[in-house]
Amino acid sequence: MTANVGHYDVDKNKVLYPDECFLINGVCFYVQNRLGRFAKEKQYGDLMQARFSELEVLCRRELVAGNSGNRIDFVVYDKILIEIKAKPFLTQDDFAQIQRYLKALDLELGLLINFWSRSAQPKRVLRIRGS
């Protein structure tokens, strides 16, 4: 099945959770448009949670990852991990953090969102198997 998204054709059989991610992208843009680029991480999370609730999207917030005590910002639809950031730029440590969380929760897809970037476009992070 192929869908036309903007100027691109997306093969929905090859992209993990395309419809769900499309909706999450919309929520991210909604949140950034309301709060701007330089709010605090908690403010972004609170507004995301409110918007998910308005849209009746199943989400859980601040889950503990295994025995680490680390808290995951969101798990949406019980299959997509969302980690939000409010900082000048993302680092390799941020992507490594997502990998650890995906492994701890046995999920395949994480979205890393930095609301301080010009566009709150989520970065898709697929779980790396092995090692």
Q: Which two tokens stand for residue 71?
A: 């808290």
Please, which residues have CB within 8 angstroms of residue 26's CB and are 6 or more apart in sequence? Answer: none
pLDDT at 122: 94
- How far, in Å, CA of 34 to CA of 8, rounded? 28
- How many other CB atoms are there within 10 angstroms of residue 26's CB atom? 12
What is the chain's pLDDT, residue by residue, as a tens digit (131 residues)?
555 555 556 666 789 999 999 999 999 999 999 999 999 999 999 999 999 999 999 999 999 887 878 899 999 999 999 999 999 999 999 999 999 999 999 999 999 999 999 888 899 999 998 75
Nearest CA-CA partner of 57 in 42, 76, 32, 83: 76
Which residues on adjacent β-strands are paired with residue 111? Answer: 82, 124
pLDDT digits (tens, 9 = 90+) for 51-66: 999 999 999 999 988 7
